Amino acid sequence: MQIADVPRLAPRQSRTGGHGFPRFFLALVCSLLFASCATSAATPASHDSGAASRFDHGLLWTIQAPGAQPSYLFGTIHSDDPRVTALPNPVSRALDNSDRFVMETQLDGDSLEQMAKAMYFDDGRTLEQVIGKDLYAATLKALTARGVPAADVAKQKPWAAMMTLSMPPSKTGEFLDLVLATRAAKQGKPVAGLETMAEQIAVFDDLPMPDQIALLKEVVRQQPEMEKNLGELIQAYLARDLRKLTEISEKHELGEEQLYRRVMERLLTRRNARMAQRMAPILKQGNAFIAVGAAHLAGEAGLLNLLEKAGYRVTPIY
């Protein structure tokens, strides 16, 4: 199944958990895969390297392996803001002229059901029992205001609730990453993923429960400022300013520094190394368009620096 089929999965009931795939769920999937938001944009020391600072500006880059055609690496942001989803000419040309499209994780019916199952407790526990009455009341209020049914909130795991509250409310559901994938699929390009859905889910699902609760508590606390924070992130993204994205995110980083570092290690550092390794055969083949969250690009542990150190020629385009 190609990514263009994903929106048609929305009305279907999941065999694994009895939950359908409403818009908020698809948005949660996109948030996990592609988020560049206040809780997940950069490691605190991501710009310590002078060499890595060369990669502080630009969203579209060519990555060239010796003897191969250049491929494209594009940084996305989880947003359906029309200013974001209107593809700039350099981006649309690169995608249209590429031979294949690669995203962080390819979405299909099975992977969506896998995510749906992972989001919810299956052992009789409820979110209120796990996080306590007061935090649950605040979480329920915030999520139902975004259109999430109360019955769904009741059985969600803390990380799932946290991810939903970390992303901008959906207006059209046409997030940038889906726009890219749908365009590629309509052109008949092969669509592939750098990671499996299981690997994506494990980033948060394998966190100890106290860490999940702490993350949720912090995101609930930040809700009054979330719209302003997201607006700042989008402005920095439109300016193609990766350093600014980092600075904004660090300004609103988690109150518990050690927890923040643990999460960033799981969310970015380890995954960047894995994605860079898995890009190798794709880059050797050449002329691929690879889209990942913009948070993965810059910094000493970012993909651009890792790929250059691995011997690839890295050149900014846009």
Angle at 225 between CA 171 and CA 44, to 5 degrees: 105
Specify the residue for token string 């710009």: 47
H/E element, 233: helix 209-238
| Burial group, residue 187, by CB count within 10 angstroms (0-12, 13-18, 19+) | exposed
Question: End-to-end distance of the chain based on CA atoms, in angstroms?
Answer: 31
Kindly give the pairing relationship between strand 60-64 and strand 71-76.
Answer: antiparallel
Selection from 159, 95, 92, 113 nearest residue 17 by Cα = 113
What pLDDT, on the 0 to 100 scale, is given for residue 259? 84
Is residue 167 a contact partner of residue 27, using CB atoms and an 8 Å limit? yes
- Residue 257: φ, ψ to 5°: -60, -40
Distance (Å, rounded) from C-alpha 13 to C-alpha 224? Answer: 34
Number of domains in the chain: 1
Specify the residue for token string 């699902």: 205
Is residue 75 a contact partner of residue 160, using CB atoms and an 8 Å limit? no
Distance (Å, rounded) from C-alpha 20 to C-alpha 130? Answer: 24
Distance (Å, rounded) from C-alpha 97 to C-alpha 100? Answer: 9
Residue type, 66: P
Distance (Å, rounded) from C-alpha 289 to C-alpha 303? Answer: 15
Which residue segment(s) compose the domain that 50 sits in? Answer: 3-316
Name the H helices within 60-196: 82-85, 89-97, 109-119, 127-131, 133-145, 150-155, 158-166, 176-186
What pLDDT, on the 0 to 100 scale, is given for residue 251? 66
Structural tokens at position 260: 């923040």
Whole-model pTM: value is 0.86
pLDDT in tens, the chain (318 residues): 333 333 333 333 333 333 444 455 555 555 555 443 433 333 344 444 455 578 999 999 999 999 999 999 999 998 899 999 999 999 999 999 999 999 999 877 788 888 889 999 999 999 999 999 999 999 999 999 988 999 999 999 999 999 999 887 778 888 899 899 999 999 999 999 999 999 999 999 999 999 999 999 999 998 988 888 888 999 999 999 999 988 887 665 555 778 888 888 998 999 999 999 999 999 999 999 999 999 999 999 999 999 999 999 999 999
Alpha-carbon dihedral sign for residues 160, 161, 167, 171: positive
